[in-house]
Chains A and B, each alone.
Chain A
Amino acid sequence: MTAGKRKERLDRGIKVRTEGIYTLSSWREMIYLVAPRLVLILGLLIIPLLLPSSYYQKLICIMCIYALLAISFDFLTNFVGLVCLGGALFMGVGGYIAGGLNSAFGLSPILTIPIATLGGAIICTVLLLPCLPIRGVYFAIVTLVYPLLLLKIIEATRILGGTDGLPGLTTFPNIWIDQYLIIGITILSIFGLRRLVNEDIGLLFRSIKDNDQAVKASGIGITRYKALAVFIASGIGCLAGAYLCHLYAWVGISFFALDFSILPIAAAVLGGMGTIAGPFLGAAILVPLSEILRALGGLRIVFYALILILIIGIRPEGLFNYFQRKYHQFEHWIEV
Chain B
Amino acid sequence: MKVMRGYLMDVFVYGLINSVVLILMAAGFSIVYGISRLPNFAHGALYVLTGFVTWIFLRKLGLNYPAAIVLALAITALIGAAIYQFFLVRIRGMEASEIIGSFAVGLAIMESLRWRGFIGHGFAIPVFIDGSIGIGGVIVDFQRIIIVGAGLAITVSLWVFTHYTKIGLSLRGIAQDERAAMMLGIDSDWTAVISLALGSALAGLGAVMILPMGNINVEAGYNVLIFAVAVCILGGLGSWTGTLIASFLLGYAQTLTVAYIAFHYQMVVAMAAILLTLILKPSGLLGRQKELEERV
- Chain A interface (Cβ within 8 Å of chain B)? 77, 83, 85, 130-131, 133-138, 140-142, 144-146, 148-149, 152-153, 156-157, 213, 258, 262, 265, 269, 296-299, 301-302, 304-306, 308-309, 312-313, 316
Contact = CB atoms under 8 A, between A and B. Distances in A.
Given A138-B233, A309-B108, A145 B274 contact: yes
B264 A157 contact: yes
Contacts of A142: 274-275, 278
Nearest to A137: B95
Nearest to A217: B296
Interface residues of B, number: 39
Contacts of B91: 312-313
28 contacts: A83-B95, A83-B100, A85-B99, A134-B278, A135-B295, A136-B95, A136-B96, A137-B99, A138-B278, A144-B103, A145-B229, A148-B226, A148-B267, A149-B226, A153-B268, A213-B296, A258-B107, A298-B115, A299-B112, A301-B107, A302-B111, A302-B112, A305-B104, A306-B108, A308-B100, A308-B104, A312-B91, A316-B97
B204 interface: no
Contact of B99 (A83, A134, A299, A304): A83
Contacts of A77: 96
A272 to B, nearest CB: 15
A140 B271 CA distance: 13
Contacts of A312: 90-91, 97, 100-101, 104
B37 to A, nearest CB: 10
Contacts, number: 111
Contacts of A136: 95-96
Contact of A138 (B103, B108, B282): B282
A308 B101 contact: yes
A167 B104 CA distance: 32
A269 B101 CA distance: 11
A302 B229 contact: no
A308 to B, nearest CB: 4
Contacts of B114: 298
B236 interface: no
Contacts of B87: 309, 313
A270 to B, nearest CB: 12
Nearest to B96: A83
A213 B292 contact: no
B111 A305 contact: yes
Given A306-B104, A316-B97, 12 more contacts: A133-B282, A138-B282, A140-B96, A153-B267, A156-B265, A157-B264, A213-B296, A262-B107, A305-B104, A309-B101, A312-B97, A312-B104
A140 B176 CA distance: 25
Given A141-B274, A142-B274, A309-B87, A134 B292 contact: yes
Nearest to B91: A312
Contact of B271 (A135, A145, A269, A304): A145
Nearest to A78: B96
B39 interface: yes
Contact of A309 (B39, B41, B104, B295): B104
A118 B34 CA distance: 40
Contacts of B103: 85, 144
Contact of B115 (A146, A297, A304): A297
B47 interface: no
Name which of A85, A265, A309 has the most chain B CB atoms within 10 A of its CB. Answer: A309
A152 B111 contact: no
A258 B219 CA distance: 12
